[in-house]
Amino acid sequence: MRIRIALFTLASIILFSCQKEADYANGNNTSGGGGGNTPATTLVRTVSKNGADSVVTVYTYNASKKLINEKITGKSQGIDVGNEYKYYRNASGIITKFVQINVDLASQGIDSVTTIVNYNSSSSRYTSTVSTITYSGFTVLDSTVFLYDASGKVIESDLYLGIPLLGGYDLAVKFKYIYANGNITQYDVYDLTSGTEDHVATTKYTFDNKTSPIIFNNEAFAIGHPDWVSVNNATKVELLDLTDPTNNYTIAIAYNYNSTNRPVTSINTTTPGGIVDNVTYYYQ
């Protein structure tokens, strides 16, 4: 049992340390680029600056304007945040897998992580993802299953961790989502590794009424980025650690918008700490 708990802890550290920085992309890709009198609406790059540090995110699309690559370079708070995602789609544009290349993974001797994405063509829904991570001779399988409500919204993501050496999967973490006006306004995190469902964290969002450049619909869950579901822009993010409130923090975001009501710049202020990031958005 101690071996299983240790491996679960290791897997959780790897998985959560590899979560993406806050970034943006035109997920539904229904808007074309600029031309004539048509405003540019496809986001191709963001630049976030904090003092001497800067983080650049570049988005690449296929001929159908579907996102196929996201590459992050630069430093934030002196830390290298280099990260790249390569998205693979079938002829219908459905994501079948994605590959992550990350500096943190590389430092742990992991070249990349491939995640297989499962899709049910009958229901037109993404159903689950499966990733495999091998570290120090141990292989950890992580599978996320998506639960939908009657309206077709993903209301829960259940993370299972499996150790082939020990056999089987165990339900480790649940993420439960609350919606309002097309936005995820809250999600709650439940830890089940102790055998009980412990509510350990909550994230709350406040939104403006302008257009987000990141509308991915349910595909957002398939690529591990549920914040890309929301149709508006978050103006406040509150992260609450229910196990240790000293870890709580809030991000306040103030935007300037273009003629299509999309952000062109933002000032993101984190409290406590007073960290200020200035972000610029580039469209075509």
Is residue 197 predicted with pLDDT exceeding 50? Answer: yes
CATH number at residue 169: 2.40.160.150
Is residue 23 predicted with pLDDT exceeding 80? Answer: no
pLDDT of the residue at 17: 36
Domain with 95, as residue range(s), is 2-283
With the CA atoms of 63, 65, 69 and 74 taken in that order, what torsion angle do they form, in degrees rounded to the nearest 10? 120
pLDDT of the residue at 281: 97
Average pLDDT of the chain, as a whole number: 86
Q: What is the pLDDT of residues 90-140, one digit of tens each?
A: 999 999 999 999 888 888 888 899 999 999 999 999 999 999 888 777 788
* Rounded (5°) CA angle 35-36-41: 40
* Rounded (5°) CA angle 166-169-170: 105
Cβ proximity of 41 and 33 under 8 Å: yes
pLDDT of the residue at 188: 96
* CA 95 to chain CA centroid, nearest Å: 15
Is residue 176 predicted with pLDDT exceeding 50? Answer: yes
Is residue 204 predicted with pLDDT exceeding 70? Answer: yes
pLDDT of the residue at 38: 54
Q: Across the strands, what pairs with 69?
A: 60, 86
DSSP string, 54-75: EEEEEEEE-TTS-EEEEEEEEE
Q: What's the count of helices (H) and strands (E) in the chain, helices before strands? A: 3, 17
Number of domains in the chain: 1
Q: How far apart are CA 250 and CA 237, in angstroms?
A: 6
Q: What is the pLDDT of residues 37-80, one digit of tens each?
A: 457 899 999 999 999 999 999 999 999 999 999 999 999 989 99
Banded model confidence at residue 9, pLDDT cuts 50, 70, 90: very low
Closest CA to 27 of 266, 189, 166, 221: 221
pLDDT of the residue at 138: 77
Look up the pTM and report it: 0.84
With the CA atoms of 42, 43, 44 and 45 taken in that order, what torsion angle do they form, in degrees rounded to the nearest 10? 170
